[in-house]
Structure 1
Amino acid sequence: MSDETILTNARLVLPDGVAEGTLVLRGGLIAEVATGRSAAPGALDLGGDHLIPGVVDVHTDNLERQVMPRALARWPAVSAFLAHDSQVAVAGITTVLDALCLGDLGFDESRMRTARDGVRDLGALTAAGALKAEHLLHLRCELPATDMLPMLEDYHEHPLLRMVSLMDHTPGVGQYLDPDRYRALRVRGGARPEEVERRMVELTAQRAAWSEPNRRRLLALFEGRDVPLATHDDWDAEVVARNAADGIAISEFPVNLAAARAARAQGMAIIAGAPNLVRGGSHSGNVSAAELAREGLVDIVASDYVPAAMLEAAWKLAEGGMPLPAAVATITANPARALGLADRGRIEPGLRADLVRLRALGGTPVVGAVWREGARIA
């Protein structure tokens, strides 16, 4: 039985343009890219639908949402991981970095259990061949947390680790640069105002004691290694300059225009959130991703917390004036390049046959089929 698949009558989104053509898949790879239609028996006619590379998602918290589908309703870990995998696959994501938090600042202690279970299940389900998408590991390291470093030392040599991000969710910096917004958020979550004030003082002191030594140890663990480092929620040029000087090459979700401009000046890759683009703004009051895109300050789009937002975000970028190949590259070629995954992210002979068939209905891309290494997964 032949392992060859022919996809024809497709609008191929290539690195430098869109062309009507045909792909031949063989041995899990793209064997041929040709213009025009194929008359070969068994060729699958895509009816003029778009065909793009499989989506590469560098950051999703979606596993956490499956583990806790409702407050106080914790789902069995393996079932949650499989549900997460299915949602990722039907969204056209063929390579996904599961972003797991190391270190608790009092937001949700159960996230540490989710991280430990997630690392365990990632390894076991991958080894069993049970996952539709290829799952890799992204460790999100909360620098001021007293329990971050022991967890990092457990996982820093994990064979599926592909990205590490440095985070700081202390009120007064990063995402919580405005302390009043932090206060309002915690009170809406049910905390008493006096409790919030006490906790803010504690967290500021904890940051002063732990952030710097944890940062130095993290950087030492990854010095000279081929694991991309990112910083989360950069907030000013001074912070960005320090990160660049430490060899950090990715700015993930800068919270304002000034930080994004500084990241660009330092030659860093900039990640924006797909939900920010789809919703038309940040849910947390940070800079609009569309505004960043208008200034050429979006290199990579990540799903953050909604896998299905990836394709729609790329189409939003195209609607905003970005050429479609460049918009698609923000969710395919650019993240693959940032992760050092040279075998995917583009429709070219010799690369992995990770592909998504879709058509736009009223401006919204709808997935028709997904292939990973030439095998249909959705």
Structure 2
Amino acid sequence: MNALNLTLSGAEVLLDRGLAFTDLSLADGVIQPDRTGKRIDLSGYLVLPGIIDMHGDGFERHIAPRRGAMKQMGEGILSVEAELAANGITTGVLAQFHSWEGGVRGPEFAAQVFDAIASVKDRVVTDLMPQLRFETHMLDNYDDLADRIADWQVRYVVFNDHLPHDRLSEGRKPQRLTGQALKAGRNPDRHFEVLMSMHARRDEVPAALDALCAVLDRQGVRMGSHDDATAQTRAEWRARGAKISEFPETLEAAEAARAAGDHIILGSPNVVRGGSHKGNASALDLITLGLCDALASDYHYPSPRRAALMLAKSGLVDLAGAWALVSSGPARVLGLQDRGTLSAGKRADMVILDGQTHRVAATLAGGRVSYMAGDIAARFVG
């Protein structure tokens, strides 16, 4: 499918300095410095840089809508792309677990997801990027993990530890153990034994991580940590080369990340909700303090757009600054120098919003239409 060759006129376009009525031309998949092609009247609309979602696991329900219903993986990824595009997302990082939790988060399933993303890459418009979320206490999986990450074409790895150490240290079974065991394909007693075994070997984890991260760093893989709680934890991850702090749980951890020049990623649902659903640090508070480089969808794809617009409406940040958290900010964190702003020479990634309702009317990725609905279609084809 060829990229569009046209000039968008009459809309308010979000530039670095803010909204301005200006023409925006695109051809060959990039934004052009001069007017070109057919003129499209977009009076009444806003044109903003496409959203770069650098961490989202909301795709799980598409690839496994029910337990065991996992046979049409490629079709599931195509369905994910449709939802991303409908929410103005032009670059989507799909955060896939590699976890003892099993089911859609198990190691075997991770391989299927990464293979499916690669298999549909030529059939989607949205740029889909895989991310691996690795559970750090899975020591039996370390030996060949770096090789598998390379085979999966994963360039972004985040480390998690979701073991309920407090309960395990007391020999108590975690809450929801039976449900977790069923997802992992184990009986509850056996699942508890697996968790206790991983907990018992926790002192081996730091050295294993040091070795793994050193290999991944040499491979050029971006690395981050998830749910940092203390400055010490952030420092340990930074020493390993993991310089992205995803969803820090405390002000202390976020301040430590900023002081060291690390990137800070917050969840846009936290902004929309007005706080963390787990009682962690408020994204609004951290943004106010300048402790945020990017907002991610986390588990809800409509939230990045909504969060940016809410921030601008509140006056906490102007629209250019708020939208940068879902466009140019994540582009910088991911090293994507070809996108993130509506500047000449950049990829023609943009979302077009209805000027009144701020609903997504159309999304273009690389100058190709990934989503369009409603009255705007007549502007393009009429």
User: TM class by shorter-chain length?
Assistant: 0.7 to 0.9
**Matches for 1:103-252 after TM superposition, within 5 Å:** 104-106=99-101, 108=103, 111-126=106-121, 129-149=122-142, 152-158=145-151, 160-172=153-165, 183-184=174-175, 186=177, 201-209=196-204, 211-252=205-246
Alpha-carbon distance between aligned partners in 2 of 1:110 and 1:242, rounded to the nearest angstrom:
26
Inter-partner Cα distance in structure 2 for 1:41 and 1:228? 39
- Partner in structure 1 of residue 265 of structure 2: 271
The alpha-carbon distance between structure 1 residues 279 and 160, as it changes in their structure 2 partners (threshold 3 A), is same
Question: Tell me, which stretches of 5 or more residues in structure 2 are unaligned?
Answer: 372-382
User: In structure 2, do the counterparts of structure 1 residues 8 and 142 end up closer, same or farther at CA, with 3 Å as the change threshold?
Assistant: same
Q: In structure 2, how many angstroms separate the alpha carbons of the residues matched to 1:225 and 1:267? A: 22
Cα displacement (A) at 1:202: 3.8
Assess if the C-alpha contact under 8 Å between 1:5 and 1:374 holds in 2: no
CA contact (8 A) 2:101 2:180 kept: no
The alpha-carbon deviation at position 266 of structure 1 amounts to 1.5
Q: Partners of 2:25 and 2:200 in 1: how far apart?
A: 60
Inter-CA distance 5–334: structure 2 relative to 1 (3 Å threshold):
same
- Alignment partner of 1:64 out of 60, 65, 78: 60
Closer, same or farther in 2 for the Cα pair 1:316/1:6, shift >3 Å? same
Preserved CA contact (<8 Å) 2:97 2:105: no
Distance 1:262 1:32, change over 3 A: same
**One-letter amino acid of the structure 2 residue matched with residue 223 of structure 1:** D
- Is the contact between residue 293 and residue 317 of structure 1 (CA under 8 Å) also seen in structure 2? no
Quote the offset at 1:336 in angstroms: 0.8
Structure 1 SS opposite 2:129: strand
How far off is 1:53 after superposition?
1.0
Q: Quick one: distance in 2 between partners of 1:130 and 1:193? A: 41
- Aligned CA distance change for structure 1 residues 120 and 199 (closer, same or farther; 3 Å): closer
Q: Note if contact 2:94-2:128 (Cα within 8 Å) is conserved in structure 1.
A: yes
What is the percentage of aligned positions where both structures have the same residue?
32
The Cα shift of 1:196 comes to 9.3
| Residue aligned with 1:353, SS | coil
Q: What is the alpha-carbon distance in structure 2 between the residues aligned to residue 266 and residue 141 of structure 1?
A: 24
Q: Per the alignment, in what secondary structure is the counterpart of residue 156 of structure 1?
A: helix
1:373 aligns with 2:366: yes
How big is each residue's C-alpha offset from its partner over 1:328-370, in whole Å with a ceiling of 9 and x where there is no partner? 11111111111111000001001110111013656xx310111
2:272 counterpart letter in structure 1:
V
The one-letter amino acid of 2:128's match is H
User: How many residue pairs align between the two structures?
Assistant: 365
- Aligned 1:331-370 pairs, distance under 5 A: 331-359=326-354, 365-370=358-363
TM-score (norm 2): 0.85
Contact 1:12 1:18 in 2 (8 A): yes
- CA gap 1:155/1:193 in 2 versus in 1, 3 angstroms: closer
Partner Cα separation in structure 2 for residue 205 and residue 74 of structure 1: 33
SS of equivalent to 1:377: strand
TM-score by length of 1: 0.86
Query: 2: distance between equivalents of 1:147 and 1:80?
Result: 30
Q: Helix, strand or coil for the counterpart of 1:52?
A: strand
Q: Once the two structures are superposed, what CA deviation does each residue of 1:79-99 show, in whole Å capped at 9, x if it has no partner?
A: 211111111111111111111
Stretches of structure 1 lacking an aligned partner (at least 5 in a row): none
Counterparts of 2:249 and 2:235, CA distance in 1: 15
Asked if 2 retains the 8 angstrom alpha-carbon contact of 1:162 and 1:339, the reply is no
SS in 2 for 1:161: coil
* 1:78 lines up with 2:71 in the alignment: no
Q: Which has the larger displacement, 185-194 or 9-18? A: 185-194
Corresponding position: 1:330 with 2:331: no
Aligned partner of 2:284 in structure 1 is: 290
